Amino acid sequence: MSRAPAGAVVTGAGRGLGKEIARLLAQRGYQVLLTDIDSTAVADAAAEISGTATSMAVDVRDNAQVTAARDAIVRAAGRLDVWVNNAGVLVTGPAWEQSADQRRLMVEVNALGTINGTVAAIEGMRGHGGHIVNVVSLAGLTAVPGEAVYAGSKHAAIGFSLSTLADLRLAGIEDIDISCVCPDGIWTPMLHDKLDDPSSALSFSGKLLQPDEVVAAVSKVLDKPRPVTTIPTWRGLQARLADLFPRLGLRAAPIAVAHGRRTQRRLLRKAESRQPR
C-alpha cells in the first residue's frame, strides 16, 4: 500500500529550474521547503507556489544550514521523502582566467553543496526510505571547453552520487534512491547571464532546453528512479562516446565551440529582440 507524500526539499529554488521543480512537487502533494541563498527570491517563489510551500535561506556550502533545513521539513511534514539538490553556480572561461574565489565558489556550491544535501537527506530518510535527485549536467559526463572548473565540479557531483548509491546498496539500504539528472544547457537565468560572455565556449545541442523539459524528466525519475538520466538522450550518448575516445572528443572540441558560439549569438539576438524599447 503506497503512502501519501510528506516532505520535500529543493535547493537553489529561488528562481529558474529549482522553482519549477518545487512547483512540481507541490502539485504532487508534497509539503515543499524551498531553499536558496537569496532569502527574498526564495520567499517570493514559495508564495507564488502557495499551498504548503515554505521557504528558508540556506547556503548549501554550510553543512549546519543544510542540516537545519532537513530538520525543519521533518518537523513540519513529519517525514522527509524527497530531496532535490539543484543549487548551482556557473562561471565561464578558462580556469586560469578565473579568480581563486570564483573557482572555489563553483566547487563548493556544485560539489560540496550536493554532498552536504545528499548526506543530510540520507540521515533524514533512514528507517523509512526516500529519493534524492541531484541535478547535475552533461558537463559532469565529458569535457566542456569554456567550463573546465564547472565541469570538474559536476564530475565530482556525479561521481559522489553514484558512489554513495553503491555504498547504500552495499550497506543493505534498498529503500533510498539517488538519481542524477544531467541536462544540456537550459534556458534559465543562470545560463542566460552567460550568453554575452565572449570567453564562454558553451556547446549546446542547437537549442537550449526549456525548464519544463527538465521538470518532465525529473517527474519521470521520481516515478521510476534511475542512476543517470541525460537530456536529451542523444547528447548523453554523444558525451559517453567522447569519454570512450577522449582524443577524438578533444579533436572535435573546436567544432563544438564554433557551434556553441553560433548558438549563443542567435540566442542573444532573440533575447535582445524581446527587450522593451
Strand, coil or helix: 50: coil
Q: Is 68 exposed, middle or buried (0-12, 13-18, 19+ CB in 10 A)?
A: middle
Query: How would you list the strands of the sheet with 228-231, edge to edge?
Result: 54-57, 31-36, 7-10, 80-85, 130-135, 176-183, 228-231
The single-letter code of the amino acid at 190 is M
Q: Do residues 17 and 211 make contact, with C-beta atoms less than 8 angstroms apart?
A: yes
d(CA 95, CA 172): 41
The H-or-E segment that residue 84 falls in is strand 80-85
Q: Round to whole Å and give the CA distance between 140 and 235.
A: 12
Domains and CATH numbers, the chain: 7-273 (3.40.50.720)
In Å, what is the CA distance from 214 to each residue of 43, 61, 157, 229?
Answer: 23, 24, 18, 10
Least confident of 49-63, 134-148, 159-173, 178-192: 178-192
Greater confidence (38 vs 243) lies with 38
Residues catalogued as catalytic: 150
Q: Specify the pLDDT at position 85.
A: 98
Residue 248 has pLDDT above 90, yes or no: no
**What's the average model confidence in pLDDT over 248-268?**
57
pLDDT score of 219: 97
- Within 1-112, where are the H helices? 16-27, 39-49, 63-77, 100-106
How do residues 156-203 score in pLDDT, each as one tens digit? 999 999 999 999 999 999 999 999 999 986 654 545 444 455 544 444
**Contact, 188 vs 135, CB < 8 A?**
no
Task: Report the amino acid identity of residue 66.
Answer: V
pLDDT per residue as tens digits for the range 121-130: 999 999 999 9
Q: What is the predicted pLDDT for the residue at 277?
A: 47
Residue 173's nearest CA partner among 165, 163, 161 is: 165
pLDDT at residue 245, as a whole number: 53
Q: State the pLDDT at residue 118.
A: 98
Q: What is the pTM of this model?
A: 0.83
* Per-chain mean pLDDT for the chain: 85
